[in-house]
Amino acid sequence: MENIDINQILGIAVFGASIGLILIGLYAVLMKKHLIKIVIGLSIIDAGIHLLFIAIGYISNGTSPIFSEKGISLVSEGTKMVDPVPQALVLTAIVIGFGVTAVALSLVIRLYRHHKTARIDQIKTLKW
């Protein structure tokens, strides 16, 4: 069992999960008829991309990029810190994603108010 690389299995699991989330979300956006389902698909795509970024920044046996001891000079004696840049980017992306979802859902409410339906195949007129 020693010759199986643990990192390889972890990579298949995490990258596979993120690619799977992106594809599932894309399927929902393209195939579903209900507008709320489409917004759910968008947020699933978001989740997949966030997981992909964090997974690329991960370093095995690394610690989170927060210095804990007082006066510690730097990362010492073989301990590694994971890459902080993708984490900062994902932090921004989650907050912006919430804003996008909220605006999209308020547009759904507005469309429902006019057409009395939220299914795009039942919205006949383009004008509103």
Partner 1 sequence: MELFLISVIILAVLLLAVAVYAVMQKDLLYATIATGIISLILSVLFFLLQAPDVALTEAAIGIALTTIIFVITIRNTSRREDEILITQESEASKIDDKVKANM
Partner 2 sequence: MKKLLVLLLLAVVGYSLYKPLSQVEFGADRIGDIENPTTVGAYYLSHTPSDLSVANVITAIVVNYRGFDTLGEVSVLFLAATGIGSILYRRRKEGEHSETITQPSSQLLQAGAKLIYPAILVLGAYVFIHGHLTPGGGFQGGAIIATGFLLMMMSYKDFHMNHTVLTWVESLAGITFVSVGIGGLIVGKTFLENFLAIGTLNDLFSGGIIPIIYIAVGFKVAAELAGVLDTLLSIKEK
Q: Contact positions toward partner 1, by CB under 8 A? A: 6, 9-10, 13-14, 16-17, 20-21, 24-25, 27-28, 32-34, 36-37, 39-41, 43-44, 47, 50-51, 54-55, 57-58, 62-64, 66, 82, 87, 90-91, 94-95, 98, 101-102, 105, 108-109, 112-114, 116-119, 122
Residues forming beta bridges with residue 119, ordered by sequence position? 34
In the complex with partner 2, the residue whose CB is nearer, 26 or 40, is: 26
Q: Smallest distance, Å, CB 124 to partner 2?
A: 19
Q: Smallest distance, Å, CB 125 to partner 2?
A: 19
Helix (H) / strand (E) containing 91: helix 84-115
Under DSSP, is residue 116 helix (H, G, I), strand (E, B) or coil? coil
Angle between helices 35-57 and 6-31 (to 10 degrees): 160
Could you tell me which of 46, 14, 13 has the C-alpha nearest to residue 29? 46
